[in-house]
Amino acid sequence: MSQTTLMQVSLRLPTRLLFSCAAEKVFAEAENGAFTLLPKHTDFVTALLPSVLVITDAAGVEQYFGIDQGVLVKHGYNVDIAVRRGVQGKDLASLNETIQATFIAVDEDERVARTALSKLEAGIVRRFSDLRKPLT
């Protein structure tokens, strides 16, 4: 395939580039439904839902990614995808196992952090209310 019939796709996490390649098509899911991007598709921006992202590379091989919420921007032949969390799988079955192991562990860590933050906030509010009490 010629370069003009391919898109340059980059999948980014907050801390690093997860995947980049020349691609024939990208399949993703937004709030208004699933869609497939082709190289000559119109430029646009959309918010992505937690879902499976499928990128078909220049050789016709499908690459599977489990993603959390994110944003997809298509401009010309460039597609930039930024997601909060993402993992790559060899196939859909292994991707499901990876998602279960990775995302659930992270969710548990976030739950613990939110609990600690709530306790900290409650302590601050309690101390401020103590400051408002009149001295007698």
Name the burial class of residue 136, with classes exposed (0-12), middle (13-18) and buried (19+) by CB atoms within 10 angstroms of its CB: exposed
Q: What's the mean per-residue pLDDT of the chain?
A: 87
Question: In whole angstroms, what is the distance from residue 106 CA to residue 61 CA?
Answer: 29
pTM for this model (two decimals): 0.71
More confident residue, 120 or 10: 10
> What region, left, alpha or beta, does residue 88 occupy, with left being phi > 0 and alpha being psi -120 to 50 degrees?
beta
Cβ-based neighbour number of residue 98 at 10 Å: 17
Confidence of residue 48 (pLDDT cuts 50, 70, 90): very high
| Average pLDDT for 58-78 | 93
Lowest mean pLDDT among 82-86, 90-94, 113-117, 129-133: 129-133
Amino acid 135: pLDDT: 67
Question: Mapped to the 3 state alphabet, what secondary structure does the chain carry?
Answer: CCHHHCEEEEEECCCCEEEEEEEEEEEEEECCEEEEECCCCCCEEEEECCEEEEEEECCCCEEEEEECCEEEEEECCEEEEEECCEEEECCHHHHHHHHHHHHHHHHHHHHHHHHHHHHHHHHHHHHHHHHHCCCC
Which amino acid appears at position 103 of this protein?
F
Confidence of residue 123 (pLDDT cuts 50, 70, 90): confident
Domains along the sequence of the chain with CATH = 3-92 (2.60.15.10)
Amino acid 129: pLDDT: 79
